[in-house]
Amino acid sequence: MNNNVKNVSLFSLICFLLNFTLLQIILDLPLFYAKAAKSAVVLLSIYNFILVLLFMILLCKLYKKFIGFNILDICNYILGNVGQKILTIFFSLILFGYNIIFLREISEACKIILFTDTPLMYIIIFYGLAMILCTSSGLEGIIRASEYIVTISIVLILIIFLLSLPFLRLQRLFPILGSGISEILTKGSLNIAAYSGVPLLLLLSKYIKNIKEYKKLSFIYTIVSFVIITITVAIIIMSFGYSYIASDLFSLYEVSKSTNLSTIFQRTEIIYIIPLLLSTFLFLVSIFTGLSMCLNHVLNLPETYIKDKKVFFRNLIILIIIIVLSNIPSNIYIIFDIRKFFSIYLFLPATFILPLILLLWANIKAKKDRSSYEKFINNNC
Amino acid sequence: MKNLSIIIVSALIIIFSLGSYDNIELNQYAYVVSIGIDKSQINPNNISVTFEFVVPIQINSESNNGNSSSTKTTTIEAPTIHSAISLTNTYISKELNLAHNKVVIFSEEIAYDGLDKYLEAISNDKNFRANMYMIVSKCSAKDYIEHTHPSLEKNPAKFYELLLSAYKYTGFASRSLFLTFILSARSYYSEPVVALANISTKEKKQTNNDILDVSSTYNISKPNDANFYAGEMNKIGGSETEIMGLAAFNGSKLIGELTGEETIYYLLTTNAFKSSYFTIYDPFDVSNIISFNLIQVNKSKIDVDLINGAPFITVNCPLSAILYSVNPKTDYSNEENIARLEHNLENVLQTGMKSYLYKTSRTFQSDISGFGRYAATKVATWDKWESLNWENLYRYSYFKVNIDVDIKRSGIVFIE
């Protein structure tokens, strides 16, 4: 099996990152946008884009000296081995938590929308099977598969949008400032979590050869995500209006359910089902692989080490724990609350604040102590 | 490539294996095409739900001589729609499947009490389709379903589909989807309407003289095209039921009804009008009538201003007309005569539309035309919009209506 990810194209990497944004669009991103900005979802999307763009500019500037290293290596440079281990454990815990939350949430979504009579445990186990199987196929395979999955998903979502065109009413975007500028600026800033491919940029930077390519990947991902998010929230608000979306869990599904292709093809929601299954599958596989890589790091194994049977059994035990824990919350609302807590108090600081602090620190250290920087570069090269 | 294959195969496992758990044969289902909801006559806490489901063999049968219906109905008393479904499943030998349900019918009686709890139940169930139709029936929903006998169409689903999209060429009802209803009911700037249905109350009349009875809502200023409510049509034969006009709501509560003609004005203000035949008295000879085919080529331009705290709503409505039945003694190729005819038609339409608009604001106090959407463009934030209290403000609205009719041509015959 191939253990490296150096042979994947930029397109595959962009698709891999985009899937993280796509998953939220397929699930409940429009709901959170509508709750934060009411009818001003487009404005909120632009605001979030500006925030992420500024973050990306800063990130690319700070990464200049450390290209070829991920955030864990940088932590090793400034805090030493112990610091690196602590940060890796911290990231592992976040990924472990997200595995539990999303495995349950995605399975619940599938049960509500698709497999009404199938027991939840059955759906969770099937996803679990896919996670363990695909993780052992390596990161490269997953990134390559995302090329197909994300392309298919985006095309199908665009078809849903095209079918919904007759329902669109521009006036539903009014009042133009929605919940008000101050509310958008404060509450709305939390919605940058929609750009959930960003943390991958911090981890995948290890496999990117030069800063130019890293910049390209960061900016293309940000811009394409912005376009997809803006089109989605605008179309969904123009189709249904804020008051409906603010209480609707799967608004993209609602849009697909409300459309039809003449009187012959009336069950167009099948168009939604395919991206739902594919994108959620890829997402779960990706975060489980991420967890496996982080654990390898903690155990001093190569990050993409997957050949070993011990690693497989370790992953299997972790997966069983994840499956058991994801079954504990008695209802979906508890999962939503946990996810909100994770997103605000762990994901956002760990993605947008902590890396900037670490990179800034690393840059200052590199400037002050040139010899240690050169030593670090040479050792890792 | 091997790794990629593993991932693709895993994805396929997810897609195809999970569904196998709750798979079911098609012939294990009873496919519902319409649901009628009435108040219970026995227990006030219950509702009476009528299911009309298809008998597929009758639809496919070539030898169907018209004696056997392609649908069967059953009515059950239950506290909720879902408990009615559950109870029905106990005795029909197949499981009710609502995925192909075409129409949900509420009786007028139940609609006056409010449809909130039914809307929530329906929209929460993924089996109901948001783009199914919704009707308010002046008679009981059960009676409406039982008296509806598709005579020109064997497939009941197609029958409802065609019947409820007839508004496109009649203009006497609107696109009354469940989705549009629930969107308007939950919206802060428009109120819902649905098509109004009834059993033909004048159906039993047998002679042509009876057809001339226009006692219902005859309008002296204009020949009576459709200035009446569902059930009041003078007709012999055809279907025993009819759809005419709209039921106007405030939130989810029924507050009044619109005639077929008022529905044309509703469609014009919501830009949903396609075409309709329209009749007026001939301005050159009032003993004659002239009929037109009205067509909305361009959208109506609507502007809402707030003057002294009251909405001032301007509706500019451009229409095209094709001249049909005319007075043979008048020269309609004369530009002056055409202009007079246009002016006359504009006056009739303007009077009718104003009357409709004031009915919605003063009588119904419900913005069914959705002018609130235009008013919302005048404020910046939702806080300001909510403080405007549009639902309350609409009743004080003033209207200015400009209808611009352009008579384009006559029919096949050159009228001179």
CB pairs under 8 A between A and B: 136
Please give the DSSP secondary-structure letter assigned to residue B90.
Answer: T
pLDDT at B350 over 70: yes
Mutant choice from B89, B186, B188, B379 vs A, greatest count of A C-beta within 10 A: B186
Q: Among B7, B126, B183, select the one facing A134 at the smallest CB separation.
A: B7
A171 vs B126: CB contact, 8 Å cut-off? no
Please list the alpha-helical segments (H only) found in A40-70: 41-63
For residues B178 and B35, the answer to whether their CB atoms sit within 8 Å is no
Per-residue model confidence (pLDDT) at position B2: 66
Q: What is the pLDDT of residues A39-75, one digit of tens each?
A: 999 999 999 999 999 999 999 898 888 888 888 888 8
Give the DSSP per-residue string, B108-170. HHHHHH--HHHHHHHHH-TTS-TTSEEEEESS-HHHHHHH---SS-S-HHHHHHHHHTTHHHH
Considering only CB atoms, B3 lies closest to which of A2, A177, A282, namely A2
Q: Greater confidence, A320 or A166?
A: A320
CA distance B54 to chain A (A): 18
pLDDT at B365 over 60: yes
Contacts of B301 (CB under 8 A, 6+ apart): B314, B315, B316, B317
Q: Which residues of B touch A130 (CB under 8 A)?
A: 10-11, 13-14
Contact B195, B246 (CB under 8 A): yes
Chain A interface disruption, residue of B2, B4, B168, most A CBs within 10 A: B4
Over residues B88-127, the pLDDT tens digits come to 999 988 889 888 899 999 999 999 999 988 988 888 888 8
B25 touches A at CB < 8 Å: no
User: Using the beta-carbon criterion (under 8 Å), do B7 and A176 form an inter-chain contact?
Assistant: no
| The pLDDT of residue B208 | 46
pLDDT at A263: 65
Interface of B with A in 341-380 (CB under 8 A): 373-374, 376-377, 379-380
* Distance of residue B337 Cα from the nearest chain A Cα, in angstroms: 39
What's the pLDDT score for residue B206? Answer: 47
pLDDT at residue B305, as a whole number: 93
- For residue A116, give how far its alpha carbon lies from the nearest alpha carbon of chain B (Å): 8
Q: Is the pLDDT of residue B377 over 60?
A: yes
- The pLDDT score that the predictor gives to residue B20 is 66
Phi, psi of A121 (to 5 degrees): -60, -35
Q: Residue A262: pLDDT band by 50, 70, 90 thresholds?
A: low
- Chain A residues with CB under 8 Å of B99 CB are 267
The answer to whether the CB atoms of A141 and B10 lie below 8 A apart is no
Please name the helix (run of DSSP H) or strand (run of DSSP E) that holds residue B52, with its range, or none.
strand B47-54
Nearest CA in chain A to B373: A171
Chain B residues in contact with A140 (beta carbon < 8 A): 3
Q: What is the pLDDT of residue A107?
A: 93
Distance from CA of A285 to the nearest CA of B (A): 9
Query: Which chain B residue is nearest to residue A276, measuring alpha carbons?
Result: B15
Cα angle vertex B95, ends B94, B98, to 5°?
130
**A263 or A184: whose pLDDT is higher?**
A184
In B170-259, DSSP assigns E strands to 193-199, 241-250, 253-258
Q: How confident is the model at residue B207 (pLDDT cuts 50, 70, 90)?
A: very low
Distance from CA of A264 to the nearest CA of B (A): 10
Kindly indicate the confidence band of residue B396, based on its pLDDT and cuts at 50, 70 and 90. Answer: very high
For residue B303, the cross-strand partners are: B314
Nearest by CB to B11, from A144, A241, A281: name it: A281
Contact status of B13 with chain A (Cβ, < 8 Å): yes
In this prediction, residue B19 carries a pLDDT of 63
**Which residues lie closer than 8 Å to A375 by C-beta, 6 or more apart?**
none
Per-residue pLDDT at B414 exceeds 60: no
Q: How far apart are CA A367 and CA A62, in angstroms?
A: 12
Predicted pLDDT at B27: 79
Instruction: For A123-167, give the DSSP string.
Output: HHHHHHHHHHHHHTT-HHHHHHHHHHHHHHHHHHHHHHHHHHGGG
Chain B hits for A247, Cβ within 8 Å = 186
Cα B314 to chain centroid distance, Å, stands at: 25
Q: Which residue on chain B is closest to A134 by alpha carbon?
A: B7
More confident residue, A106 or A244: A106
Query: Bigger pLDDT: A209 or A279?
Result: A279
**Looking at the predicted structure, is the pLDDT value of residue B231 above 80?**
no
At B150-180, the pLDDT tens digits run 777 778 888 888 888 888 888 888 888 998 8
**Residue A82: burial class (beta carbons within 10 Å; 0-12, 13-18, 19+):** exposed
Contacts of B171 (CB under 8 A, 6+ apart): B260, B263, B264, B267, B273, B274, B275, B276, B294
Task: Give the C-alpha separation, A159 to B107, whole Å.
Answer: 37
Query: How far, in Å, CA of A291 to CA of A287, rounded?
Result: 6
Residue A195 φ/ψ, nearest 5 degrees: -85, 60
Average pLDDT over residues B328-339: 78
**B19, A1: Cβ pair inside 8 Å?**
no
A174·B376 Cβ contact <8 A: yes
Rounded mean pLDDT of A334-361? 89
pLDDT score, position B172: 87
DSSP element (H, E) containing A296: helix A270-298
Would you place residue B216 in the very low, low, confident or very high pLDDT band (cuts 50, 70, 90)? Answer: very low
Do residues A145 and A286 lie in contact, with contact meaning Cβ atoms separated by under 8 Å?
Answer: no
Contact B130 A254 (CB under 8 A): yes
Mean pLDDT of A26-46: 92
**B290-332, pLDDT tens digit by residue?**
888 899 888 999 999 998 889 999 999 999 998 887 777 777 7
Contact A129 B13 (CB under 8 A): yes
Residue type for position A224: V
Record: contact B11-A119, CB cut-off 8 A: no
- Greater model confidence, A261 or B208: A261
pLDDT tens, residue by residue, A276-297: 999 999 999 999 998 998 888 8
CB-CB neighbors (< 8 A) of B158 in chain A: 263
Chain A CB within 8 Å of residue B28 CB:
no
ipTM (interface predicted TM): 0.79
Distance (Å) from the alpha carbon of B73 to chain A's nearest alpha carbon: 24
Say yes or no: B383 contacts chain A, CB-CB below 8 A.
yes
Closest chain B residue to A180, measured at CA: B381
pLDDT, residue A244, reads 83
Considering only the beta carbons, identify the residue of A117, A138, A177 that sits closest to B380. Answer: A177
The CA distances from residue B379 to A38, A173, A233, B197, B306, in Å, are 14, 12, 21, 38, 11
**Predicted pLDDT of residue B158:** 84
pLDDT score of B202 more than 70? no
More confident site: A332 or B254: B254
| A115–B10 CB contact, under 8 Å | no
pLDDT at residue B21 is higher than 70: no
Length reported for chain B: 416
A148 contacts B8? CB cut-off 8 A: yes
Rounded CA separation A124/A108 (Å): 9
**pLDDT score for B3:** 66
Question: Per-residue pLDDT for B14 more than 60?
Answer: yes
Residue A3: what pLDDT? 42
Q: How confident is the model at residue B212 (pLDDT cuts 50, 70, 90)?
A: very low
Q: How far apart are CA A24 and CA A142, in angstroms?
A: 19
Search chain A and give the residue with CA nearest B18: A123
Q: What is the pLDDT of residue B219?
A: 42
The pLDDT, as a whole number, for residue A95 is 92
Using a CB-CB distance cutoff of 8 angstroms, which residues of chain B are in contact with residue A133? 6, 10
Contacts of B379 in chain A (CB under 8 A): 174-175
Contact state of B11 with A278 under an 8 Å Cβ cutoff: yes
Residues for chain A: how many in total? Answer: 381
CB-based contact A126 B373, cutoff 8 Å: no
Q: What are phi and psi of A16, to 5 degrees?
A: -60, -45
Specify the pLDDT at position B210.
45
Mean pLDDT of B386-399: 92
Does position A321 have pLDDT exceeding 90, yes or no?
yes
Residue window 325-344, chain B: list those with CB within 8 Å of chain A: none
Measured between beta carbons, the chain B residues lying within 8 angstroms of A240 are 183
Q: Chain A within 8 Å of B186 (Cβ-Cβ)?
A: yes
Among chain B residues, CA nearest to A260: B131
pLDDT of B370 strictly over 90: yes
What does the pLDDT average to over A104-118? 88
Q: Round the average pLDDT of chain A to a whole number and report it.
A: 87
Select from B130, B187, B188 the Cβ nearest to the Cβ of A257: B130
* pLDDT of the residue at A309: 79
- pLDDT tens for B242-251 read 889 999 999 9
Of B4, B188, B385, the CB nearest to A144: B4
Mean pLDDT confidence for A201-218: 84
For residue A145, which residues of chain B lie inside 8 Å, CB to CB?
A: 4, 7-8, 11
Q: For A128, which residue in chain B has the nearest alpha carbon?
A: B14
